Amino acid sequence: MTMFALIRRAGRDRRGVTVAEFGLIAPTFLMLLLGVFDMGYTVYARAILDGAVQKAGRDSALETGTSSVSVLDNKVKANLGGLAEGADFTYDRRNYRDFAKVGLPEELDDRNNNGSRDPTECFTDENGNGIWDRDLGKEGIGGARDVVLYTVRMTYQRKFPLYALLGTSSTATISSATVLRNQPFGDQASQTTEVICT
């Protein structure tokens, strides 16, 4: 057989083509599959966290909730079961007089329109801490009829090694928040505000 015929015969031979194609496609397919699994895990964990935060928020809005804040925080972690294993949690409660004030900054006479307080610009100190805040809420659960923004953040190690292949962080953080009004178990505390201009 001549060299030319041997080359023609090798060019028509299709044995082993599947292995070569699989070798080219497999890494991309595996990365895509790991990405879908990682995203699915995150969506599932966020859904479970949302439910746990809603339940804890409702329980803390009761009159008895003010005395069991740490117990309610621990219940959030317990409701996540195995998803919470090795995860770090941070809990934040801020209270407001009504729903309209949630997340708003303290009122400011911003003369130069730079979005922050400069010396001599007056502001209304609604939370009583003596400084202008971008969020006028007070720390804690508040009292009767107060509105509470309850936020939980969960930082966990990613379960799938996609981060190592892409060079991204091995940890992920998800958060959930709920806003609820405390039960009217008493009169809402009177609010004293002070205008500060120094």
Q: Does the structure show a pLDDT above 90 at 2?
A: no
What is the C-alpha separation between 131 and 89, in angstroms, rounded? 28
What is the C-alpha separation between 186 and 45, in angstroms, rounded? 37
What is the C-alpha separation between 139 and 41, in angstroms, rounded? 32
Best CA proximity match to 178, nearest among 21, 58, 90, 75: 58
For tokens 């007089």, the residue is 97
Instruction: Confirm if 131 and 192 have CB atoms less than 8 A apart.
Output: no
Q: pTM for the complete prediction?
A: 0.77
100: which DSSP letter? Answer: G
The rounded mean pLDDT for the chain is 86
Confidence band for 159, pLDDT divided at 50, 70 and 90: confident
Half-sphere exposure of 171 (CA within 13 A, CB side): 9
Model confidence pLDDT, tens digit, residues 127-157: 888 889 999 999 988 888 899 999 999 999 9
Confidence band for 63, pLDDT divided at 50, 70 and 90: confident
Instruction: Confirm if 126 and 67 have CB atoms less than 8 A apart.
Output: no
pLDDT reported for residue 50: 95
Confidence band for 71, pLDDT divided at 50, 70 and 90: confident
Model confidence pLDDT, tens digit, residues 107-132: 988 888 888 888 888 999 988 888 89
pLDDT reported for residue 151: 95
**Using CB atoms within 10 A of its CB, is residue 192 exposed (0-12), middle (13-18) or buried (19+)?**
exposed
pLDDT reported for residue 35: 86
